Amino acid sequence: MINKIDEIGDDHVGSSAKTPLRADAFDISDAEKRKRIEASVRDILDTLGMDLEDDSIKGTPRRVAKAYVNEIFSGLNPANKPKLSTFDNNYKYGEMLVEKNITVYSTCEHHLLPIVGRAHVAYISDGNVIGLSKMNRIVDYYAKRPQVQERLTMQIVQALQKALGTDDVACVIDAKHLCVNSRGVRDIVSSTVTSEFGGKFKEKDTKREFLDYIKMDTDFKNIEA
Ligand SMILES: Nc1nc2c(ncn2[C@@H]2O[C@H](COP(=O)(O)OP(=O)(O)OP(=O)(O)O)[C@@H](O)[C@H]2O)c(=O)[nH]1
Ligand SMILES: [Zn+2]
């Protein structure tokens, strides 16, 4: 029998970076998931005392279910994993390549509230190169799960390490968590920076070069070697 968890497409990642999915996660279809989520959201709104006959609200359970399964959490489904096609590095480009300011829309798994920010991804080719857009796509794929920012950062790096066949991959994410900004401590200014440096990116000069390329409003002092 196929281990369904292996089908999420990130079975290469170490257990610490794995999304905690149950083994039966894909035993039911997306249509069935939407049906069950719709019923659950209807129950939440009903419990809150909302009038589900109201013209503006009556479609909300269906809309939320569709958004969860088809969009916001679509990165749980391995069928949606982007193909990370690589090419030979025929031009022998030997420096680091940085894809910066990749938009991150994710969802905090503690409160199911948005995480919004930027990811910066870099690698040094060991013979393979990857299409630029694939870095944006892999960020988006892993972002579309219930997440903690640390795990998201590690999943992106490990997926690219596997695709490129090198440890020399790094990722920095700077993101706002609406669970911090809009509720709880309600700090609208703070943001969270996470980083993962593989292979050569652990070396001081390489890390410094990467951080210099992505320097924007933040000086990233807290993650310098
Ligand atoms: N490490 C980590 N923590 C996160 C992330 N997203 C949200 N959190 C935190 O998860 C914690 C959950 O804490 P709890 O005390 O269980 O929840 P809570 O009572 O709602 O906490 P408050 O947000 O402080 O009101 C909060 O401190 C969140 O800020 C993340 O990506 N990584
Ligand atoms: Zn949260």
Looking at the structure of the chain, the number of domains it has is 2
Q: Which of 74, 85, 93 is nearest to 30 (CA)?
A: 74
For residues 94 and 146, state if they share a domain.
yes
Which residues are known catalytic residues? 108-111, 149, 177, 179
For the chain, the first-to-last Cα distance in angstroms comes to: 46
Residue 179 marked ligand-binding: yes
- One domain, residues 8 and 63: yes
Do residues 177 and 192 share a domain? yes
CATH number at residue 91: 3.30.1130.10
Tell me whether 0.90 is exceeded by the ipTM.
yes
User: Do 136 and 166 lie in a common domain?
Assistant: yes
Instruction: Clarify whether residues 105 and 71 are in a common domain.
Output: no
Distance CA 13, CA 18 (A): 6
φ and ψ of 172, to 5 deg = -125, 135
Centre of ligand 2 from the C-alpha of residue 108, in Å: 5
Identify the pLDDT of residue 16.
72
Q: Report d(CA 44, CA 28) in Å as an integer.
A: 22
Does one domain contain both 70 and 93? no
Written in H, E and C, the secondary structure of 144-205 is: CCEECHHHHHHHHHHHHHHHHCCCCEEEEEEEEEHHHHCCCCCCCCCCEEEEEECHHHHCHH
Q: Is the CB of 193 under 6 A from ligand 1?
A: no
Residue 141: what are its φ and ψ, rounded to 5°? -60, -50
Per-residue pLDDT of the chain (225 residues; tens, 9 = 90+): 344 445 445 544 445 799 999 989 999 999 999 999 999 999 999 999 999 999 999 999 999 999 999 999 999 999 999 998 898 988 899 999 999 999 999 999 999 999 999 999 999 999 999 999 999 999 999 999 999 999 999 999 999 999 999 999 999 999 999 999 999 999 999 999 999 999 999 999 999 999 999 995 455 555 554
Residues spanned by the domain of 147: 86-223
Does this model's pTM top 0.95? no
Contacts of range 88-92, beta carbons closer than 8 Å, 24 or more positions apart: 88/127, 88/128, 88/129, 89/125, 89/127, 89/128, 89/129
Q: Please check whether residues 165 and 98 belong to one and the same domain.
A: yes
